[in-house]
Amino acid sequence: MFTEANMETAMALWEEFTEHRDDPLWKEDVEQCGTSAFRHTIIALVPECERIWEALREAGKEDAFIPFDWEWCPYFLRNVVQWDGGPVVPADALDKLLAEAEQAKRSTPDYGNGRAA
């Protein structure tokens, strides 16, 4: 059974898809299975989308992806999910995101006030 939060995640992922329906990332998958079946693809991605988001939050690394619906969900679909051969979330996706967030933090100048510019 899905919670209200799960449904919001599904809607945010679906919205990103529908706004960019002809994107080469997923166009072939949609053409093969159809829009109705692709809804189930989106639903199946909800747990991983939320799991990685929660892990980023727990690590204090979610800042680059706020807000959840307008930044994280599109980023997840476009940069975390691998679409070649069907939608797959790589096992090391979270580790890569944490490393990228740490790298971005190091490359942001600090002007002595404790806040990055």
14-23 pLDDT per residue, tens: 999 999 999 9
Number of separate domains in the chain: 1
- The pTM score is 0.83
Is 114 inside any structural domain?
Answer: no
For residues 30 and 91, the answer to whether their CB atoms sit within 8 Å is: no
Residue 60 lies in a domain: yes
For residue range 46-59, list pLDDT tens digits in order: 999 999 999 999 99
Identify whether 112 is part of a domain: no
Residue 105 placed within a domain: no
pLDDT tens digits, 52-78: 999 999 999 888 889 999 999 999 999
| pLDDT of 115 | 47
CA angle 1, 30, 47 (to 5 degrees): 30
* Domain-located, residue 38: yes
Which contacts (CB < 8 Å, 24+ apart) does range 26-33 have? 26/77, 26/83, 26/87, 29/83, 29/86, 29/87
116 in any annotated domain: no
- Residue span of the structural domain in which 43 resides: 4-100
Residue 107 domain flag? no
SS3 content of the chain, % helix, strand, coil (to 5): 70, 5, 25
Task: Tell me the two tokens of residue 15.
Answer: 């919205």
Nearest to 42 by CA among 92, 79, 90, 6: 6
Domain annotation covers residue 62: yes
> Which is nearest to 9 in space by CA: 37, 47, 40, 41?
47
